[in-house]
Amino acid sequence: MKSVRKERILITGPFGQIGSELVPALQERYGKENVIALGHVTIPDWYDGKMVTGDVRHLDSMKKIVQENSITQIYHLASLLSATGESKPSMAWDINMTGLKNVLDLAVEFRLRVFWPSSIAVFGPTTPKENTPQSTVLEPTTMYGVTKLAGEVLCQYYHLKFGVDVRSLRYPGIISWKAEPGGGTTDYAVTIFYDAIQKGRYECFVRESTVLPMMYMDDAIKATLQLMEAPSNKIKVRTSYNLAAISFSAKELELEIQKKMPGLKVTYRPDNRQEIADSWPMSIDDSTARGDWGWKHDFDLPLMTKVMIEELTQKLSR
């Protein structure tokens, strides 16, 4: 796809599960020279593009990066996820909240458009479990969820108070083959594919009846770009939009993979992540996103499973 308009984009957390696919998509859209990855610890060998080093918690160094690179948009992905957040709650608060506040302060000063991911983790045990509405009870019971809830209202506050054009999605579990997820509760829906291909068996850390909202990566990237490119007057929600594609139980995923890999054996041994999974909804009502800016998903469970097996088999044989 051709470059659409002149933007200079900074992406934090560029080499995580979502960043690894969002960075190339942004490079293709806006030109490689206009996308700058904020590297932190390691840089993967696939990366071909501009990079700066920094830490989202340090406002002064972030300000320098924004100024020196004439940044117009920040995709702020750097964050600890739910399972890691439970083992390191103070660090989760620090990275997730200080990082976001710094980005929003820079957005005020430099008139930046911001994308920030929220999550289904913003919901909790008191939220309606099925077809969870856009506006509903938000009482998360994980530190990750607490930071997402606080982050959502902080985004809305900066929009109302300072006019910051900040846009956000409540991502479900994202399934992808390029980079492995790390530290999330929904990771089993990715790891099962690796173990199915490499070992022919998988021990799942949630019960087989566990149902969570999920989405194939291509849909998540499509939604993110569509949201960020929508005219401002279409963005009616400045906390974060519910976003949905597919919901299935761990057992349904096992059965779908077995249609292509009949030898796969799956056992279930729930660990502490079960409690996190149980606190989240089973399905999400995303009609507001569909109505406001035309969101529509492409990948259902069979298509996602087929593509995952094909792509991952190819990747692992290289």
Rule CB under 6 A: which residues touch ligand AKB? 81-82, 119-121, 144, 171, 173, 184-186
Q: How far is the CB of 291 from ligand AKB (least distance, A)?
A: 23
Alpha helices in 4-137 (DSSP H): 19-30, 59-68, 82-87, 89-93, 99-110
Q: Catalytic: which of 30, 75, 144, 188? A: 144
Q: CA torsion, points 310, 312, 315, 317, in degrees to nearest 10?
A: -80
Residue 284, strand partner residues = 132
Q: How far apart are CA 43 and CA 41, in angstroms?
A: 7
Q: Which is nearer to ligand AKB, 106 or 243 (CB)?
A: 243
Q: How far is the CB of 218 from ligand AKB (least distance, A)?
A: 16
- A 10 A CB-CB count for 126 gives 12
Q: Which is nearer to ligand AKB, 27 or 132 (CB)?
A: 132
| Cβ contact 253:266 at 8 Å | no
Angle between helices 188-198 and 301-317 (to 10 degrees): 50
Q: How far is the CB of 6 from ligand AKB (least distance, A)?
A: 32
Q: Which is nearer to ligand AKB, 185 or 305 (CB)?
A: 185
Cα dihedral 107, 64, 74, 137 sign: negative
Q: How far apart are CA 99 and CA 218, in angstroms?
A: 26
Q: Which is nearer to ligand AKB, 19 or 184 (CB)?
A: 184
Total number of residues shown for the chain:
318
Q: Which is nearer to ligand AKB, 33 or 180 (CB)?
A: 180
User: Catalytic site residue 144?
Assistant: yes
Q: How far is the CB of 33 from ligand AKB (least distance, A)?
A: 31
Q: CA torsion, points 168, 170, 172, 173, in degrees to nearest 10?
A: 60
Q: How far is the CB of 100 from ligand AKB (least distance, A)?
A: 15
Chain position whose Cβ is nearest to ligand AKB = 184
Tokens of 112: 């930046």
What are the catalytic residues? 144
